[in-house]
Amino acid sequence: MNFKSIDQLNIQGKRVFIRVDFNVPMDESGTITDDTRIQASLPTIQYALKQGAKIILASHLGRPKGKPESRYGLGPVARKLGELLKKEVKMAPDCIGPEVEKMTAAMVPGDVILLENLRFHKEEEKNDPPFAQNLARLAEVYINDAFAVSHRAHASVEAITRLFPEPAAGFLMKEELLYLNQVMEDPARPLVAIIGGAKVSGKLEVLKNLILRVDKMIIGGGMAFTFLKSKGVSVGKSLVEDELIDTAREVLTIAEKRGVKVYLPVDCVVADKMEPSAQIQIVAVEKIPSERMGLDIGPDTIALFSQALQGARTILWNGPMGVFEMEPFSRGTLAMVRHIVSSGAVSVVGGGDTDLAIHQSGGSQKISYISTAGGAFLELLEGKKLPGVEALKK
């Protein structure tokens, strides 16, 4: 990798600014309902503690639109992090300003401070240089451990790096990039991509880029119906992006020319409405009733996709196979988790819905790598350069 990581820097006794991703879900009472992202940051924070650093953590939470909103305050995150670290995590009243500067100047080795929500200032998302300077004034070392926001050119991700001689990656960032770059640049083959989710439009550039790199591609979820319709299949009321039918056909043509086998559903679970109480039916994709919609892959498709995974040495997965949040339509996605786990391949998974499905299935410990990112994961799969990553390559 052509950037430094935290373990290559001397951080002993220094104030270390670590950009983390603590954008975690909370209920109305302010209770964190999933602390996965906080847990993912612990190796970097614990390493810095062992090195005797003074740790300043910075994150956003939600979309407060450039002004303070109590529901997006990071106080609950500071308390949760303190529980996980078994030490006090001090909560700053803001992320910049004289009071925050006084707090950080008084730190001693082993102290941990969490700055208040970066997005309480509109300058964060504008990548504002003076705002970045105010952040940089707090610390002597900069670490980016937030791959999930590294597709954004924001002040705490991009502009701030220009103000430190050796900006570096944390362990989470490093691990994300090692796995994803390996999959994209030098995978063990055969490489099989599984792409699902609702719409082709959200994954179009991913499909176009991956079709040039993979040996096989499996397409499921709602987006599969646009591809099926491009092949002349009547899909009832299933989700279809008619304006992308020609594009779907083009992707299939490119795959055929490259010798890449594309697997589409052969049967599906249909219903007249997208509700847990809906009456379901399993039909071949050519026999979807005109008044029904496909909401999950069927058993024959599960068997077909499982067969496609046999012999794979690397599997890349983004997007569920159906509306897995509802029990009647969850079986296809959960079955794919089981088949990926049993394949023996290196498995790399990304995207919030896919991540959630894997954790629900209990298979998370057997997946090689689960990315914490959504948008950044997709942009990397599209072949784009990420501002936060490029900024570390000094």
Q: What is the Cα Rg of the chain in Å?
A: 23
224: helix, strand or coil: helix
Last residue of a domain, one of 171, 197, 212: 171
200 with 312, same domain? yes
267 with 355, same domain? yes
167 with 283, same domain? no
State residue 22 phi and psi, 5-degree precision: -105, 30
155 with 255, same domain? no
Among 16-30, 285-299, 318-332, 364-378, the minimum mean pLDDT is found in 364-378
Q: In the numeric block, which tokens belong to residue 254?
A: 């490119």
Total structural domains in the chain?
2
Tell me which residue range forms the domain holding 52: 6-171
Alpha-carbon distance of 366 to 323, in angstroms, equals 23
162 with 201, same domain? no
Per the annotation, the verdict on 162 as an active-site residue is no
DSSP labels, 296-357: EE-HHHHHHHHHHHTT-SEEEEES-SS-TTSGGG-HHHHHHHHHHHHH-SEEEE-SHHHHHH
Which position has the token pair 């099989």? 192
Residue of 14, 15, 19, 37 marked catalytic: 37
Cα angle 162, 168, 174; round to 5: 135
334 with 359, same domain? yes
pLDDT (tens digit per residue) in 291-306: 999 999 999 999 999 9
Residue of 82, 311, 352, 383 marked catalytic: 352
Within 10 angstroms of residue 370's Cβ, the number of other Cβ atoms is: 21
The DSSP bridge partners found for residue 285 are none
Looking up residue 318, the CATH number of its domain turns out to be: 3.40.50.1260
In a domain, 343, yes or no: yes
In a domain, 181, yes or no: no
Per the annotation, the verdict on 110 as an active-site residue is no
149 with 205, same domain? no
State residue 5 phi and psi, 5-degree precision: -120, 165
pLDDT (tens digit per residue) in 324-339: 889 899 999 999 999 9
pLDDT (tens digit per residue) in 210-268: 999 999 999 999 999 999 999 999 999 999 999 999 999 999 999 999 999 999 999 99
pLDDT for 372 beyond 80: no
160 with 303, same domain? no
Residue of 4, 79, 137, 199 marked catalytic: 199
C-alpha closest to that of 246 among 224, 231, 261: 231
What pLDDT is stored for residue 127 in this prediction?
Answer: 98
Residue 208 CB contacts under 8 Å (≥ 6 apart), including other chains: 251, 254
pLDDT band at 174 (very low <50, low <70, confident <90, very high): very high
324 with 364, same domain? yes
Alpha-carbon distance of 114 to 224, in angstroms, equals 43
Per the annotation, the verdict on 362 as an active-site residue is no
Is the separation of the CB atoms in 43 and 202 below 8 Å? no
80 with 201, same domain? no
Cα angle 98, 88, 143; round to 5: 65
Last residue of a domain, one of 147, 171, 195: 171
Per the annotation, the verdict on 298 as an active-site residue is no
201 with 251, same domain? yes
26: helix, strand or coil: strand
In a domain, 392, yes or no: no
Alpha-carbon distance of 63 to 65, in angstroms, equals 6
In a domain, 39, yes or no: yes
